[in-house]
Amino acid sequence: MNKAIFFDRDGTLIIDKHYPNDPNQIEYFSDCFSTLKKLQNQGYLLFIVTNQSGVAKGLITEEQLEAIHEQMQQDFEKQNINIEEYFSAPYLPTSNHYYRKPNPGMLLEAINTYNINPAQSWMLGDKISDVEAGLKSGCKSILLSQTTSDKTSNYHTCKDLSEALKIIEQA
Ligand SMILES: [Mg+2]
């Protein structure tokens, strides 16, 4: 079986620009490429799982969303980083859609399609809904947040991707 890292997109890999609709708005966190490369070298398959309610709200089009992911794919390829698949959930928060985090649909689809063992896999995101989706799908989860870690929680908390890498390597 494979192991995987599931990344939220906005606020996790790239700076959250609130409904970005143009590839020019992509701005990677400084440790994004180095962290993904190290995880890839450790044998993890890499996925992006992103809620995109802006599509349902009419703030961005499916084509604009696709253009952003195509640009990201080119940027990652230049760094020899392979993202297996980009999953997006273009549904309203009120939809409670199975694919929209905190529901685990996007992760479970990847887990089934790519023969992934969730117990060896991780979800990383900057919102508690990311962590919930990770835990519901059986993955270990890390919340990227500036707030102090709650030692009693069933997930990890750290401030950036570099720290998340250390947590994964030490687990
Ligand atoms: Mg986010």
Nearest to residue 47, comparing CAs of 86, 100, 92, 105? 86
Fold of 3-170: Rossmann fold (3.40.50)
Contact status, residue 66 vs residue 74, Cβ threshold 8 Å: no
In our burial notation (b when 16+ CB lie closer than 10 A, e otherwise), range 64-88 reads bbeebbeebeebbeeeebebbebbb
The rounded Å distance from CA 116 to ligand 1 centre is 23
**What pTM, to 2 d.p., does this model score?**
0.97
**For 109-118, what is the mean pLDDT?**
98
H-helix segments, 48-104 = 53-56, 62-78
pLDDT digits (tens, 9 = 90+) for 57-111: 999 999 999 999 999 999 999 999 999 999 999 999 999 999 999 999 999 999 9
Whether the predicted pLDDT of 150 surpasses 80: no
Report the pLDDT value the prediction gives residue 60, as an integer from 0 to 100: 97
pLDDT digits (tens, 9 = 90+) for 158-168: 999 999 999 99
pLDDT digits (tens, 9 = 90+) for 5-63: 999 999 999 999 999 999 999 999 999 999 999 999 999 999 999 999 999 999 999 99
Task: Show which residues are catalytic.
Answer: 8, 10
Instruction: Output the 3-class SS for 98-140.
Output: CCCCCCCHHHHHHHHHCCECHHHCEEEECCHHHHHHHHHCCCE
The rounded Å distance from CA 8 to ligand 1 centre is 6
The rounded Å distance from CA 103 to ligand 1 centre is 14
Residue 3, beta-bridge partner list: 44
Contact status, residue 133 vs residue 49, Cβ threshold 8 Å: yes
**What is the percentage of the chain residues whose pLDDT exceeds 70?**
97
Residue 142, beta-bridge partner list: 124, 156
